[in-house]
Amino acid sequence: MKILKTSYQNIPPYTTKDGSIIRELMHPQVHGNTNQSLAEAIVPIGFTTRYHQHARSEELYHILSGGGEMRLANNIFKVAAGDTICIAPGTPHQITNTGSDELKILCCCVPPYTHADTQLAD
């Protein structure tokens, strides 16, 4: 049995098309898993990600810390630590950090996240 394990301190951050700071905690292209990706996204204080959508991936956002405002298609609502949002494929979305700390989000994508699957909607 192959053990797939990562360590946070060994994962370099990068910036995605939407402008959030991402750490790929587990991704097939890097770690060898097959069906999903798991990442931490950090949205700086006062920052809004670009309005975007994923054609194929269903995405789950679980708010780890901080607070903000989520725009999901035509719906705008507040989010806080402990909230989980399901973003269906093809649904435009963005999130704004309205708090006084970094907004940290756990993001799970099935199929796994790819830059090519991300289309800017604005």
Going by pLDDT thresholds of 50, 70 and 90, the confidence category of residue 1 is: low
Q: Which of 21-35, 70-84, 104-118 has the highest mean pLDDT?
A: 70-84
pLDDT of residue 76: 98
Q: Residues with Cβ < 8 Å from 10, sequence gap 6 or more? A: none
19: helix, coil or strand?
Answer: coil
Cα distances (angstroms) measured from residue 116 to each of 7, 17, 45, 111: 26, 10, 27, 12
Q: How far apart are CA 98 and CA 43, in angstroms?
A: 10
CATH number of 13-120: 2.60.120.10
Beta bridge partners of 38: 26, 108
Which tokens sit at 38? 């798991």
pLDDT above 70 coverage of the chain, percent:
99
**Among 65, 74, 110, 113, residue whose Cα is nearest residue 94:** 74
pTM to 2 decimals?
A: 0.93
Average pLDDT across the chain, whole number: 94
Q: What is the pLDDT of residues 16-72, one digit of tens each?
A: 888 999 999 999 988 889 999 999 999 999 999 999 999 999 999 999 999 999 999
Identify the pLDDT of residue 82. Answer: 98
Q: What single letter denotes the amino acid at residue 115?
A: H
Residue 115 has a pLDDT of: 84
Q: Is the pLDDT of residue 121 over 90?
A: no
